[in-house]
Amino acid sequence: ETGVTQSPTHLIKTRGQQVTLRCSSQSGHNTVSWYQQALGQGPQFIFQYYREEENGRGNFPPRFSGLQFPNYSSELNVNALELDDSALYLCASSHANLEQYFGPGTRLTVT
Amino acid sequence: KQEVTQIPAALSVPEGENLVLNCSFTDSAIYNLQWFRQDPGKGLTSLLLIQSSQREQTSGRLNASLDKSSGRSTLYIAASQPGDSATYLCAVPLTQGGSEKLVFGKGTKLTVNP
């Protein structure tokens, strides 16, 4: 059984650019949640996908969007990057609303 | 609105000490609470998940307790080691509509000095 994986590990973007982060869920899991963790803070919920549909959203603007694919992997897209988007982005997979298992994260730096 | 607070924000102890990390939450209508470990720049490793029907959960040198009525949980680490140095986060689930999100505290940064 493979765990949750994320790619890339880290990347650097310029303000105004767009970025796509990827997450492969753990085998048997149909739900993916995305979190943003700023330095020194706890993770903040961005949104959740269940069976390819957005299932809930936190307090993030529409330039944060996502997708979930038939194999339950997921993408997080952020448009018009701002300096404050610099953070560790974590995805977590679960089967429905059972325990969430986290990936290693993607460190995004916006300059 | 569920809010999670962790005290202290940082803790530095000598190796071998027993220590307690605290977590409090404002809405006691939770069905579980989870403790995570996070190494610098890394993802979250689940340490213990306590169901609301349980009062304690143990794994090795770690013991977590949950008191829903008072809105508190503690993580007890026995005989601390330098390898325990990390940030410890607690989280509770919050169901909104059809989704469940985790609400996290800001964490306690633990340093165990050899």
Phi, psi angle pair for B83, to nearest 5°:
-70, -10
The predicted structure's pLDDT at residue B76: 98
Instruction: Inform me whether the pLDDT recorded for A96 exceeds 90.
Output: no
What percent of chain B shows pLDDT beyond 90? 87
User: pLDDT, tens digit, for every residue of A36-94?
Assistant: 999 999 999 999 999 899 989 999 999 999 999 999 999 999 999 999 999 999 999 99
Q: Nearest-CA distance from A21 to chain B in Å?
A: 15
Residue A14 has pLDDT above 80, yes or no: yes
List pLDDT tens digits, range B37-55.
999 989 999 999 999 899 8
Each residue's pLDDT tens digit, B2-24:
999 999 999 999 999 999 999 99
pLDDT of B92 over the 80 cut = yes
- The more confident residue out of A28 and A65 is A65
> Can you give the pLDDT at residue B1?
86
Q: Span B77-83, mean pLDDT?
A: 98
Q: Which amino acid belongs to residue B100?
A: E
pLDDT score at A98: 81
Q: Does B31 touch chain A (CB under 8 A)?
A: no
Residue type at B104 in one-letter notation: F
Percentages (nearest 5) of helix, strand, coil residues in chain A: 5, 50, 45
List, for residues A100-109, the tens digit of each pLDDT value. 999 999 999 9
Q: Compute the distance between CA of residue A83 and CA of residue B35 in angstroms, rounded to an integer.
A: 30
Q: Does the distance separating the beta carbons of A105 and B42 come in below 8 Å? A: yes
Q: Do B98 and A50 touch (CB under 8 A)?
A: yes
pLDDT at A1: 55
**Which residue in B101, B102, B103, B104 has the most chain A C-beta atoms within 10 A of its own C-beta, making it the best mutation to test that interface?**
B101
Q: In whole angstroms, what is the distance from residue A109 CA to residue B3 CA?
A: 28
Whether A99 shows a pLDDT value over 60: the answer reads yes
Q: CA B75, CA A81: separation in Å to the nearest integer? A: 38
Query: Is pLDDT at B70 greater than 80 in this prediction?
Result: yes
